[in-house]
Copies of this chain bind each other. A is one copy, B any other.
Amino acid sequence: MNPYGIAIHGGAGTISKAKMNKWKTQAYYEALKHAYSLGYQVLRRGGKATDAVIEAVIVLEDSHLFNAGKGSVFTHEGKNEMDAAIMDGKKLRAGGVAAVQFVKNPVKLAEIIMHKSRHVLLSGDQALEYAKKHELQIKDAEYFYDEFRYKQLQRALTSDKTTLDHDEGADRKFGTVGAVALDKRGNLAAATSTGGMTNKKYGRIGDSPLIGLGTYANNETCAISCTGHGEYYMRGVVAYDVSARMEYLGETLQEATNYVIHEKLVKLGGRGGLIGIDQTGKVVLPFNTKGMYRGVKLSDGTELASIF
Taking CB atoms and an 8 Å cut-off, the chain A residues in 176-224 that contact chain B are 200-206, 210-213, 216
Q: Which residue of B lies closest to A212 (CB)?
A: B237
- The 7 A-B pairs at the shortest CB distance, nearest first, are namely A212-B237, A248-B248, A126-B203, A123-B203, A244-B244, A130-B202, A119-B204
Q: Do B126 and A202 have beta carbons less than 8 Å apart?
A: yes
Complex-state Cα separation, A117 to B237, whole angstroms: 19
Q: Do B244 and A122 have beta carbons less than 8 Å apart?
A: no
Question: Among A20-28, A92-100, A295-303, which stretch is in contact with chain B?
Answer: A92-100
Question: Among A48-56, A149-157, A228-236, which stretch is in contact with chain B?
Answer: A228-236
Q: Do A120 and B234 have beta carbons less than 8 Å apart?
A: yes
Q: Which residue of B lies closest to A200 (CB)?
A: B119
Interface centre among A93, A205, A248 (most CB of B within 10 A): A205
Q: How far is the CB of A280 from chain B (nearest CB, A)?
A: 21
A249 within 8 A of B: yes
Taking CB atoms and an 8 Å cut-off, the chain A residues in 108-138 that contact chain B are 117-127, 129-130
Complex-state Cα separation, A129 to B130, whole angstroms: 25
Take A240-B241, A244-B244 as given contacts and tell me if A234 and B121 are in contact as well, using a CB distance cutoff of 8 Å.
yes
Q: Do A203 and B124 have beta carbons less than 8 Å apart?
A: yes
Q: Do A127 and B202 have beta carbons less than 8 Å apart?
A: yes
Chain B residue numbers with a CB within 8 Å of A210 are 210, 213
Q: Do B127 and A203 have beta carbons less than 8 Å apart?
A: yes
Take A234-B211, A235-B93, A235-B94 as given contacts and tell me if A123 and B123 are in contact as well, using a CB distance cutoff of 8 Å.
yes
Q: How far is the CB of A213 from chain B (nearest CB, A)?
A: 6
Chain B residue numbers with a CB within 8 Å of A290 are none
A212: contacting residue among B118, B212, B249, CB under 8 A: B212
A64 within 8 A of B: no
Q: Do A212 and B240 have beta carbons less than 8 Å apart?
A: yes
Q: How far is the CB of A255 from chain B (nearest CB, A)?
A: 13
A306 within 8 A of B: no
Take A211-B235, A237-B211, A249-B248 as given contacts and tell me if A202 and B117 are in contact as well, using a CB distance cutoff of 8 Å.
yes
Take A92-B236, A93-B235, A245-B248 as given contacts and tell me if A123 and B124 are in contact as well, using a CB distance cutoff of 8 Å.
yes
Complex-state Cα separation, A231 to B98, whole angstroms: 15
| 13 further interface pairs, Cβ-Cβ under 8 Å (given A98-B98, A123-B205) | A98-B205, A117-B202, A119-B202, A119-B231, A120-B231, A124-B203, A126-B202, A211-B213, A212-B234, A212-B240, A216-B237, A237-B240, A241-B244
Chain B residue numbers with a CB within 8 Å of A203 are 122-127
Chain B residue numbers with a CB within 8 Å of A205 are 98, 121-123
Interface centre among A118, A125, A202, A240 (most CB of B within 10 A): A202
